[in-house]
Structure 1
């Protein structure tokens, strides 16, 4: 046992937010990875930057509650594009419930109604620095991110530009590992999945969140 490993209640950020590393929480992570890879309706993501739209090799699925009677209730818009929602896959919904129960045991009340899944085919697929600060997520959102597949580097960088806050926080996320971002994290920090040529295996991330319904 690593005596210096962070505890679930430890805050990995030095200031302006809370990030908890809950460690490996799934024993069947490899089987779940293959099931989601084979069964979900993956689509290439679209990102518009400076007026130019890019089609990514990274693929996504946006899923969640559709029982309100209108799939439009939980549409999600980021990078200039709106993502239509898919109904919950049974395995993803089960994982959602497991995460909610684990957080409750730590005194964190969270009810997730949606999940954005990203598939990175290899280490050459990544995600640039960004914050999950869209209006649909509300103030101080709780976002639980579960990793499956290849180990990848996850980096936090403070949005401010001064010596006090320039330090980066780096994690190597393993298959089955759960990280929770909450408090002011999205307001003050950006995060990224860095690209690398050293990884040739795929990774799937499941980021559970609560979206606000708009009439």
Structure 2
């Protein structure tokens, strides 16, 4: 699987294709049709907002997650997602990275107007230096990165100007230790049609 190094330090890299066709497209349609997609409200700056996408939190029973004032309890693993998790863990092992993912956040973007705002995946439940692996299926869109306000410079991230990581169908983006501490990312609105589903694998440490 060809790998593109986006940043060497902290490690940020992209692999594609991950599954190959027709597996990847079949998985996209399976997830779209079979998951119980939700559009919850989140509290931001003291107000409730409907999120501009649909999502499912999935994982082991103890993988509770708190985000923007809400507690999320995981749905059980869908067999196709559990198979993908194992495929991702194997791909990381090929690069010398050990992952024990017990949860995944799936986001469904119906079109380019649906989005994810600026954030870092740095909630306490994820530990000090989380390893995050994100699989993209469907329409290709760019994930925008920028240095985290107030973050101390670390490796190439300290001097990096904002940049786009284009995430094609059937790709794996790996955000290694240090990425969440030094960088933020966002999926900004774009005039790009088509369904996109992302699966962001992570390990939640039960409190």
> TM-score under structure 2 normalisation?
0.90
Partner Cα distance (1:181, 1:64) in 2: 19
**1:153 and 2:146 matched:** no
Residue number in structure 1 paired with 2:42: 47
Residue number in structure 2 paired with 1:98: 87
Residue number in structure 1 paired with 2:100: 111
Residue number in structure 2 paired with 1:191: 185
Q: Is the 8 A contact 2:101 2:202 kept in 1?
A: yes
- How much has 1:11 moved relative to structure 2? 4.0
**1:175 and 2:169 matched:** yes
- How much has 1:97 moved relative to structure 2? 0.4
Unmatched segments (≥5 aa) in structure 1: 1-6, 67-72
Q: Is the 8 A contact 1:13 1:169 kept in 2?
A: no
Partner Cα distance (1:62, 1:174) in 2: 23
Partner Cα distance (1:166, 1:51) in 2: 33
SS of alignment partner, residue 100 of structure 2: coil
Partner Cα distance (2:95, 2:114) in 1: 33
CA gap 1:159/1:57 in 2 versus in 1, 3 angstroms: closer
Q: Is the 8 A contact 2:52 2:115 kept in 1?
A: no
SS of alignment partner, residue 122 of structure 2: coil
- How much has 1:213 moved relative to structure 2? 1.3
Q: Is the 8 A contact 1:160 1:166 kept in 2?
A: no
Superposition pairs of residues 27-106 of structure 1, within 5 angstroms: 27=20, 28-66=23-61, 73-106=62-95
Partner Cα distance (1:76, 1:213) in 2: 9
Figure out how many residues of one structure are paired with residues of the other and give that number: 199
Partner Cα distance (1:111, 1:169) in 2: 29
Unmatched segments (≥5 aa) in structure 2: none
Residue number in structure 2 paired with 1:22: 15
Q: Is the 8 A contact 1:12 1:169 kept in 2?
A: no
SS of alignment partner, residue 132 of structure 1: coil
